Amino acid sequence: MGFLTDRKRAVGRGASHTGTEHHWFMQVTSVGLAILIPTFIFYFGSALGSTHDEVLATFSRPFPAILTALVLVVGLQHFNKGAQMMIEDYLQGSARKAAIIFTICLSYTLMGTGLFALAKIAL
């Protein structure tokens, strides 16, 4: 590190110091979600408010179960990074760190809970 020139340190990394990683991640997950979401809305919307037996029947089938799992994993990581971007725009210092940590914890808690529920219903 000490041997790098300032220019070498900065090239290709931008203000975030992580280059285009964040942007690329958002692009990849958004394309993934673009494919997943319309079908997911159909299954989830149909199941919402139906009887307990109907919900169990829907999410025991492989396609709706796998689809919902993918939406949870990809969607919540997309949320995680997107919310981080918003937090970084409006908060500074310790409040920023606390908010980002909270967002990451919330995302993974929801992901874990949702996957547990799906596994329990489907298996």
Partner 1 sequence: MADVNRGNRPLSPHLQIYRPQLTSITSILTRVTGNALIVAVILGVWWLLAAATSPEYYAIVNGIVTSWFGDLIFTLSAWAIWYHYLAGLRHLYFDAGKGLDIKTAENLGWIIVIASVLLALFTVIVV
| Strand blocks (E) in 4-106 | none
Measure CA 66 to chain center: 16
Residue 107: CB minimum distance to partner 1, A: 9
Q: Rounded to whole angstroms, what are the CA distances from 49 to 8, 46, 63, 67?
A: 57, 8, 20, 19
Choice from 16, 18, 46, 102 touching partner 1 (CB under 8 A): 46
* Binding of residue 39 to partner 1 (CB under 8 A): no
Q: 12 or 93, CB closer to partner 1? A: 93
Tokens, residue 107: 């995302």
Helix 21-47 vs helix 62-90: crossing angle, to nearest 10: 130
Residues that bind partner 1 (CB under 8 A): 6, 27, 30-31, 33-34, 37, 41-42, 44-46, 48-49, 52, 55-56, 59, 68, 72, 75-76, 79, 82-83, 86, 106, 110, 113-114, 116-118, 120-121
